[in-house]
Amino acid sequence: MKDLLVNLPGYALRRASAAMLSDLSAELAPLNLRPTYASVLVLIGGNAGATPSSLGRALGIQRANMVPLIAHLEELGLIARTALDGRSFRLDLTALGKKHCQIVQDIFDKHEERLLARIPSEHRAHVLPAVRALWQE
């Protein structure tokens, strides 16, 4: 089978992203968190008092799609909401949330290590700046 797609960086990005996401999902499964939920948790951990809207803007997730994410993290007892004014509220980690956040960050770090280990050393340092240039700015 002649694969005409493997030399397309967009296609390669898609396959790599899917593979990484699949691995990370398995690593996060014991915490009852999927990658998106874990990302929100970590971001709240580093930004106490953030609102769903501000988190959504940082993560590229729309307001409407933040609702079930926040609700689930709250159900798990990992975050708590406090009214800021009549229409918005701040989010903070609970004690349990802080524990889980630390575990998630360890999983993220190990995941990143394994990921970088797969890349030939001469290319390794170029990946992050190159890939970030594709979606940032």
Residues at the interface with a second copy (CB under 8 A): 1-21, 24, 35, 39, 42-43, 45-47, 50, 54-55, 57-60, 108, 111-112, 115-116, 118-120, 122-124, 126-136
Q: Please name which of 38, 11, 40 lies closest in space to residue 24, comparing C-alpha atoms.
A: 38
Beta bridge pairs of residue 72: none
Contact partner at residue 48 from DNA, a second copy, none, CB < 5 to 8 Å by partner kind? none
Helix, strand, coil share (%) of the chain residues, nearest 5: 70, 10, 25
Rule CB under 7 A: choose which of 61, 76, 103, 131 binds DNA: 61
Cβ neighbours of residue 98 closer than 8 Å, sequence gap 6 or more: 45
Contact partner at residue 40 from a second copy, DNA, none, CB < 5 to 8 Å by partner kind? none
Contact partner at residue 87 from DNA, a second copy, none, CB < 5 to 8 Å by partner kind? DNA
